[in-house]
Structure 1
């Protein structure tokens, strides 16, 4: 139990420091000190290295969103009403918004991380599991938008996920600076409509991905 408590302290400290200073800018020993560990090698002992620590943060926080998202996806798949593209986007965005809490720095951390990795798809390249529900949403989207070539839809989907993270992180940062952003429920509703419109937008004439699909 003490070992697990120490892991949680380290995860919390790492998430906050990474969110404030960047993933690669924070020495592991500083994370251990912030977590109240006198042993300079405490982080390495519990997590091994920086990459494993980052993955642990992703999986810990991601599982919180996944629990809520799984229920939303089940409702889309089993409900009596045919889902829309906006429903798919909403099922991704809303479970992310649960992290907008004073003691939670996950969105700022995730925003920085996907920027460093060149987009949300970089997470999978790092071996981070994005969750079965996200995969299901992508498959459902393909059925709802059959006229958009798969390669184009893939890119638009990654842009959708990335934009959602950045927008929510920016909203939370505005809150911390005592700004007066729009209420979160209004922001989410507008974000869902905006991103859904992008997914079904007409393709660009001459796009080689469209030509290849034809």
Structure 2
């Protein structure tokens, strides 16, 4: 009778198994998400230019100081990834509202297409969020991704909402329309950033529905305002 133990079942310790490809992918995705959230929070509090990738890795709980480079890339890549993670759902919500609003004669409807998807998105984020403060920095700092922020799905969708809105005030001079567009952008982005900052430090959630309503009415007032004519009411004689 053959008594060679090698033919029976092994009772010794089995070698450690390495995680499969799908598990490694899930772990990498989790680490990447943690890095994006940590970066967004630090950028919002301290400013984008003041935060290093090493600080982001430490805040995300990574033992590897070069985790950002491994999982995301450069600081520019990190910022783009943060913006993309928000821009895509905002664009989807905006597109849905634009489709429902098509053909409406009411200027408020088109303003709502621009404002409400953004405030609704902010309302859905985990608290405290830092995105509104990050985007407000990006669009006002020429060293950041100002032009690339909107050259995306969100940028295309914004143009779809702007075009019918401007068509309703087409009799205004081009310079006036461009200036009002600047006012609209700054009003929405910086008001939301201030509301987010206040909610963060007070630990009282922002009322994004109220913020949206106020912004829509305020933007409508800016767009429909009739400037005083030289020599007319409101000008020096």
Structure 1 and Structure 2 fold alike (TM over 0.5): yes
- Asked whether the equivalents of residues 10 and 35 of structure 1 are also in contact (C-alpha less than 8 Å), the reply is yes
The aligned residue for residue 124 of structure 1 is: 147
Query: Structure 2 stretches of 5 or more lacking a match?
Result: 1-25, 231-237
Provide the TM-score with structure 1 as the length reference: 0.82
Query: Structure 1 stretches of 5 or more lacking a match?
Result: 207-214
SS of match in other structure, 2:102: helix
Relative CO higher for 1 or 2, CA cutoff 8 Å, sep ≥ 6?
1
**Runs of 4+ residues deviating >4 angstroms:** 125-128, 179-183, 203-206
State the 1:90 CA deviation: 1.4
- Asked whether the equivalents of residues 107 and 165 of structure 2 are also in contact (C-alpha less than 8 Å), the reply is yes
- In our comparison, the structure showing a higher alpha carbon Rg is 2
State the 1:125 CA deviation: 5.1
CA distance in 1, matches of 2:143, 2:66: 30
Provide the TM-score with structure 2 as the length reference: 0.74
Is residue 2:110 matched to residue 1:99? no
Q: Which of 135, 146, 152 is the equivalent residue of 1:110?
A: 135
The aligned residue for residue 209 of structure 1 is: none
Is residue 2:46 matched to residue 1:24? no
User: What is the 5 A alignment of 1:53-202?
Assistant: 53-77=78-102, 82-97=104-119, 98-100=121-123, 101=125, 102-117=127-142, 123-124=146-147, 128-129=151-152, 130-178=154-202, 183-202=207-226
Report the CA distance shift for 1:183/1:30 in structure 2 as closer, same or farther (over 3 A). Answer: closer
Aligned alpha-carbon RMSD (Å): 2.6
SS of match in other structure, 1:99: helix
